[in-house]
Amino acid sequence: MNILVYLGHPAQYHFFKNTLKNLVKDGNRFLILIKTKDILEDLVREDGWEYENIQPKVRGGSILSILTASLRRLAKVISRARKFQADILVGTDSSIAQSAWLLRKSSITTLEDDVDVIRNLARLTYPFSSTILVPDVCHVGKWERKKIPYYGYMKLAYLHPSYFTPDRTVLERYKISGRYILVRLARLTAHHDIGIKGLNTDLVLKIKSVAEKNGYNVYVSAEGDLDNRLKYNQLKIKFTDIHHIMAYASMLVSDSQSMSMEAAMLGLPSLRFSDFAGRISVLEELEKEYGLTFGIFTSEPEKLLDKVSELLANHSLEDEFSQRRQKMLAEKIDVTAFLTWFLENYPQSRKIMKENPDYQLRFK
């Protein structure tokens, strides 16, 4: 089978990487297309995949820039898919679904955001998608008939214990010792981030003060430039090491939804300071059902500081969250094993899942 995969974010690469390895072993062919986004190209290159970067320059944040970049990607995806003779086009971007529709091919859209959060992307993508493959708690609105729900999360595809083992020597490499918390500052420039606020320097300094009073060091990871007052606390690492450092942290405070999800997969308490709080079903499930993360609105900074203090004062924090993680893992499937089967057997796998969603339980 010829499968075209488009990757627009490092987390999307992580989601697919183990599945790609499985499918290659079975003789499938791939064409990997990417755009320039954070360390995405570094990750793909370091793992030895052949790929093409169809958007080498970072686009601007305006609506016009987003639209122009989208149209250019569409043209390039159509051209590459036709030349590659792709059987299936897979990815998150609207260009994948639209290209497949124009070429009379099948497309599988993989997301984990609710339609209300990504309304513009959904309008450009879902009408053209053959299949919308999402966690079962995700809402896809009027495109429900296209939804194939799975009992898991995208981040579980690469942070499940079957695929990820924390390496303590990574901490030694960066001379990280003692108890510490991570603070992650996102750039907030995605199409769905317009009007969304997050952490600022003054609040991070207050978090730092609370943490240090409780005997914790603070490391700050940021997509953009840091204020000089936080330079001493900046986490300067290869970003490919971030999950190992997260795994041994005591807490994550962030305005990044993606990293908050990753923390939950690792059993790391995470505080999401974001106007997205209460709006994303996968994170709401992780909060309400498993108690692995906490969403706090940007209008409530004091509540955030109180929660940081409360959690750090809990001497059983690590054990409690380890137990919560085990409960989550026991109730979810091996997402990589399921995705491998689903792609390799498509479209028959879609029919099977429509008739019997619990078929996926064999991938636990």
CA distance linking residue 334 with residue 160, whole number of Å:
7
- Per DSSP, the residues of 97-155 read HHHHHHHT-EEEEE--S-TTTSHHHHHHHGGG-SEEEEETT---GGGGGGEEEESS-TT
Domain 2-152+333-363 part of CATH 3.40.50.2000: yes
Q: Which residues of 182-211 are buried (b: 16+ CB within 10 A; e: fewer)?
A: bbbbbebebbbbeeeebbeeebbeebbebb
The predicted structure's pLDDT at residue 78: 98
The answer to whether residues 49 and 20 touch, using CB atoms and an 8 Å cutoff, is: yes
The predicted structure's pLDDT at residue 191: 42
The predicted structure's pLDDT at residue 340: 97
The predicted structure's pLDDT at residue 315: 92
> Tens of pLDDT along 343-353?
999 999 999 99
Q: Which residues of 223-249 are buried (b: 16+ CB within 10 A; e: fewer)?
A: eeebeeebeebebebeeeebbbbbbbb
Low-confidence ranges of the chain (pLDDT < 50): 188-196
CATH of domain 169-330: 3.40.50.2000
* CATH 3.40.50.2000 domain range(s) in the chain: 2-152+333-363, 169-330
CA distance linking residue 25 with residue 14, whole number of Å:
18
- Of the candidates 118, 64, 128, the one whose C-alpha atom is nearest the C-alpha of residue 96 is 128
The predicted structure's pLDDT at residue 197: 63
CA dihedral sign, ordered 355, 356, 357, 362: negative
If DSSP codes are grouped into helix, strand and coil, which group holds residue 56? Answer: coil
